[in-house]
Structure 1
């Protein structure tokens, strides 16, 4: 019972920290603000996380792992890879618009830079997942043969990350459908049938 309660306290602290870091940034966040938001004592916070840096590391790990798991869940080997790629870009953009935990992993990596040490940069996890899907599209011959895989990955990630810029006034992600419809004909092999609507 005590272990379950401790795990609940830790999760509450991580989610509260994600919300506060997302709102105030790393430098603007205090442990007192996080403990207040989580309705957890400062002593309990110190028990689970010895410093703000340790707490930020844990938030980054959780952010990257959850978002990576969500993207991997979309990777249906039976579905056309370019369609999966569109779904991944759409999901990532949606999560950046609506989910503080997804956004904060990106923000903390950017703000903390090399100082975060072993804490992951979510962009690297997202890039690796998108790259696998792009390589599958090449293998399926649904991607234009002259489309370099790394450039396609760069483009897909850039489109998804653009949500951070537009989220204030276009948080529903509706802009993405139009963008993807413009981009897809430039990526798809004409004979592949990949130009069917993606459902973004």
Structure 2
């Protein structure tokens, strides 16, 4: 019986090792999210004063360059310039790298979630009602009212979207008693509460 338990444990370890090693070698997780904004100073003030992120440092400017460096390395117009990029930490999560670019072909309208390349950032909060009230007191546009999932893997998660002053979609979520998927598996998605 002891031999069978040992073999079972080794088999599980082999499966787990395969899952961990199946992707990019050495990948440990999300380190930062990069976003482009119309004004880095205003955006960093918003993330610091409204969201509660911590400022670290700025880099730049980069460009303009006489060659195709910007296109070859960043997939942007060769005449694009990164005026500045500012790094911030938002609680227990990946850093934000906030860019201010100029480029001849720059689009000034942020994509919607339904657009290819659409995106949003979600922040975990302990108290959804207090967070929504805070955003509304600051004059931040909150889209609708908080909704709570009653089924699926997200059962127990409450969410609501809100808008950054420059039109970027953001979200707050809360699941103080966990999410539904946790009852189905011992595996866990990343969770800012821990």
Q: Normalising by structure 1, report the TM-score.
A: 0.23
Where relative contact order (Cα < 8 A, 6+ residues apart) is larger, the structure is 1
1 or 2, which has the higher helix percentage? 1
Larger radius of gyration: 2
1 or 2, which has the higher strand percentage? 2
Q: Normalising by structure 2, report the TM-score.
A: 0.23
